[in-house]
Amino acid sequence: MGHGITWSSLPEYPMMMPFASAFAINNLGITNHQLPMLFMVSGLSSLVIMPMVGKLSDRLDKFKIFAVASVWMTIVCVVYTNLTVSPLWQVMIFNVLMMMGIMSRMIPASALTSAIPEMADRGAFMSINSSLQQIAGGIAATVAGLIVSQPSKGAPL
């Protein structure tokens, strides 16, 4: 069970994030000058969200938080990837909502995964687990690169 959570903890990250800038510019109408502000707001939101999710994960059932966050992330991803040209404030809100979904899955998944091995084996287990996640992320980004297309320069992805 824990291994499944590990593999699915961030599938949208390597599939979507390599195209975040191109998608924001070509599909959402964000300018090159607005892009740093968009990513700064998203990054700062994670500094607030991560500790809150960590505390919530310690208090409540980690798997339930993971499950609810997975549904949340599915909904937010579907809405976000179907947005058309949108104002910066709206794109920022959706990016923050995505960060909430990502962090709300990643943190409980990591906590559940780290509980699988015995204490003496935890370092080796987490190292192998991290390596497998990096390999999976590389494969996901490669597959995403084969799927995503742009008919012409400046056209939506």
pTM for the model? 0.72
Q: Tell me how far apart the alpha carbons of residues 98 and 105 are, in angstroms, rounded to a whole number.
A: 11
Asked whether residue 10 carries a pLDDT value surpassing 50, the answer given is no
Question: In angstroms, rounded to a whole number, what is the distance separating the alpha carbons of residues 123 and 66?
Answer: 23
Length of the chain counted residue by residue: 157
> What tens digit of pLDDT does each residue of 59-90 get?
988 889 989 998 998 898 888 888 889 999 99
Report residue 134 as tokens. 């990096």
> Tens digits of per-residue pLDDT, 20-47?
888 888 889 999 999 999 989 988 988 8
